[in-house]
Amino acid sequence: MVHTKINQTDYEDALFREAEGLELLRDALEAAGVTDVKVPRVLSVTEKQLEMTAIMPQRQSEALLVTLGRGLAAIHNLPQSRYGLDRDNYIGLNPQKNIETDNWGEFFADYRLGYQVSLIKDAGLRRRFEDMLKSRRTVLIDWLNEHCAGPSLLHGDLWSGNVLFDGDNPWLIDPAVYYGDSEADLAMTEMFGGLGPAFYEAYEDVRPMTAEYPRKREIYNLYHFLNHYNLFGGSYLGPCENAFALIERL
């Protein structure tokens, strides 16, 4: 069966970037020897539509959450050579800016938080957040670099809606891939309720979380809350304010 996704963005290359992300995830699963986590196979892609393997979603189970946790950790354990990505792609309906770099903290401060802040339409709020980032930029960069073990391939948009289960396997869909701190993916899974204890326990059996994960989670999810604020408005401002307050306390 074939699933056809229509390009509903304003960007002609959006589906091409998504297809590339799916293939990067597929290659990583193969390199890690993971056979029980799946990625839709890209059948064809144009500016207007992406044809790929159809998935028949069913309810998740604890066993499949364990499979997903172990598989994601295996992807994250693959050694990578740099942070970022060699081309821009998309996070939801917004552009995701990328460069290749060996400085994770600088990349996240500038190309994740800084870029999303630059999209804020409210000039007063944008200036306030820009000033906060500028004043804490060096501290934030140093702290992120200190607590990152190295680059991993990230799904990039790993909330629960982008994981499907077909009864036999978990499937990863709708990626926004780049190379970064593995705990940025874990943080996103918790943004809208989490994937359940079995997932996190299985992940940690393969790749233990750092002691700073609770604070990193709030800072990494600031990127997604800023993106949601820029796309959908006011209800996402509070979590942004809370995360900036945490950055000011680093």
Catalytic residues, which ones? 157
Q: What is the CA radius of gyration of the chain?
A: 18
Helices marked H in 36-175: 62-77, 104-107, 115-118, 123-146
CB 170 within 8 A of CB 163: yes
DSSP 37: S
Strand order in the sheet with 100-101: 100-101, 83-84, 178-180, 152-154
Helices marked H in the chain: 14-31, 62-77, 104-107, 115-118, 123-146, 182-189, 197-206, 213-232, 237-248
Q: How far is CA 1 from the centre of its chain?
A: 28
Cross-strand pairs, 170: 165
